[in-house]
């Protein structure tokens, strides 16, 4: 039995039986991405762990009164970048809480000590520092952004990202994971997706599943992402991330999505989204991540040989050589990509000239990383 999916431009049918759903998704992946699965070798830089939001599943954020709350200094950013370079990373991912200075005096004071009043201005200068002083490509995960902020960051960031997470407004009600989180208003996040497209920014987004959204809301979110991509052509990848229970979060007793739920969502994403959008699921949030290959993914996202996953610190990255061996066993070749996908390098105006020069220096003929470091490590 098939369920018709609403889509004004090209209605897509989602097979209901799991095997059929996975088979269709894998067929689309094989046609458009082949049997190559990619990852980005990157160093993660949590520029600040303060945030004006208070999502019920977040372990990244620290209370501004806590001794662990901080803003990294330029020296600390450079030290992390150097460690990444030494381990063959090509990307430096800035992750940070959203606009903490609008809510917390500690954030305003920390920025003032560094000579800034706005986190985005500091982030811009840290991206420029990385571009000028290292061989790495900055990628920015700064959440919702205004037109002016996107303009500010675009010349110094190779790509940017913001998880849409969900389009459910219900989750903002009292008791919900997004209660009192101004940056989690779905309309604000959808606006950021569109603004990034209008400004020709290669953009990463995705869903966080299992936080209380319905299946229909998940599909609605995927259709919304695809619609933004059809308007602007800028969505380079979509991440399907599973909620993880942790002891120290408000949602400590909330059930995690099952593997089947994850596989169904990944496969639905592969069928709904334009085939040129890379589909990614993180390999460190399920011991059974190799099963994701059977649901249509073609990318594992960022893996760091240097830093922990600051968003899910209790889950270690897989060792890259081990992941390469597991992929080979499943019939896939693991290849290292850059933060920007190849199609954005082929002309057009998606990458600013100084960043494009760096991208071109790091890319091989196919647009993936010229230096496939893990292959050298395996030999
Ligand atoms: S998930 Fe992101 S937006 Fe929400 S509290 Fe954590 S850092 Fe802030």
We report the CATH number of the domain holding residue 218 as 3.20.20.70
Domain count, the chain: 1
Are 96 and 47 contacting, i.e. CB atoms less than 8 angstroms apart? yes
Residue appearing with tokens 């303060």: 50
| pLDDT at residue number 346 | 83
Q: Phi and psi for 189 in degrees, rounded to 5?
A: -75, -40
* CA 57 / ligand 1 centre spacing (Å): 8
Half-sphere exposure of 90 (CA within 13 A, CB side): 27
Q: Which residues have any ligand 1 atom within 6 Å of their CB?
A: 51, 53-55, 58, 60-61, 97-98, 143, 183
**For residues 11-37, average pLDDT:** 93
Distance CA 240, CA 140 (A): 18
**What pLDDT score does 322 carry?**
86
Rounded average pLDDT over 27-35: 98
pLDDT at 8: 46
Closest CA to 47 of 70, 15, 67, 30: 70
Q: Which of 63, 96, 98, 142 to mutate to test the pocket of ligand 1 (most atoms within 8 A of CB)?
A: 98
Helix (H) or strand (E) holding 78: helix 74-86
In the beta sheet, which residues pair with residue 39?
Answer: 336
Question: Which tens digit of pLDDT belongs to each residue from 40-50?
Answer: 999 999 999 99
Between residues 1 and 196, the one the model is more confident about: 196
pLDDT, tens only, 6-15: 444 555 779 9
* Host domain of residue 214: 2-378
Report pLDDT digits (tens) over 130-177. 999 999 999 999 999 999 999 999 999 999 999 999 999 999 999 999
Distance between CA atoms of residues 124 and 117, nearest Å: 13
Mean pLDDT (the chain, rounded): 92
Q: What is the per-residue pLDDT for 377?
A: 59
Distance of CA 53 from the midpoint of ligand 1 (Å): 6
Closest residue to atom 6 of ligand 1, CA basis: 58
């Amino acid at each position: 039995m098939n369920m018709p999916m609403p889509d004004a431009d090209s209605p897509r049918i989602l097979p209901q039986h799991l095997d059929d759903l996975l088979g269709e998704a894998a067929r689309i992946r094989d046609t458009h991405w082949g049997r190559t699965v990619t990852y980005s070798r990157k160093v993660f830089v949590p520029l600040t762990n303060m945030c004006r939001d208070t999502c019920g599943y977040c372990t990244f954020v620290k209370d501004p009164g806590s001794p662990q709350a901080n803003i990294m200094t330029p020296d600390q950013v450079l030290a992390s970048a150097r460690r990444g370079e030494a381990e063959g990373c090509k990307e430096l991912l800035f992750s940070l809480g959203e606009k903490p200075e609008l809510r917390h005096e500690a954030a305003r004071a920390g920025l003032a000590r560094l000579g800034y009043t706005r986190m985005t201005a500091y982030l811009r200068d840290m991206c420029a520092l990385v571009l000028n002083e290292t061989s790495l490509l900055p990628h920015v995960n700064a959440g919702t952004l205004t037109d002016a902020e996107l303009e500010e960051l675009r010349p110094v960031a190779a790509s940017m990202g913001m998880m849409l997470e969900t389009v459910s407004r219900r989750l903002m009600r009292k008791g919900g994971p997004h209660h009192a989180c101004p940056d989690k208003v779905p309309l604000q996040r959808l606006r950021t997706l569109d603004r990034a497209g209008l400004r020709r920014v290669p953009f990463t987004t995705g869903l966080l599943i299992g936080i209380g959204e319905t299946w229909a809301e998940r599909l609605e979110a995927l259709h919304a992402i695809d619609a933004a991509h059809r308007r602007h052509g800028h969505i380079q990848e979509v991440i399907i991330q599973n909620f993880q229970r942790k002891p120290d979060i408000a949602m400590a007793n909330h059930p995690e999505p099952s593997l089947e739920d994850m596989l169904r969502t990944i496969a639905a994403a592969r069928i709904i989204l334009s085939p040129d959008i890379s589909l990614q699921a993180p390999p460190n949030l399920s011991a059974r991540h190799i099963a994701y290959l059977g649901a249509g993914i073609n990318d594992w996202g960022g893996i760091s040989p240097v830093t922990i996953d600051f968003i899910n610190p209790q889950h270690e990255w897989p060792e890259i050589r081990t992941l390469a061996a597991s992929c080979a066993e499943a019939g896939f070749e693991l290849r290292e990509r850059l933060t920007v996908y190849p199609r954005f390098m082929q002309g057009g105006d998606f990458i600013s000239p100084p960043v494009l020069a760096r991208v071109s220096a790091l890319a091989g003929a196919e647009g993936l990383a010229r230096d496939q470091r893990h292959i050298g490590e395996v030999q």
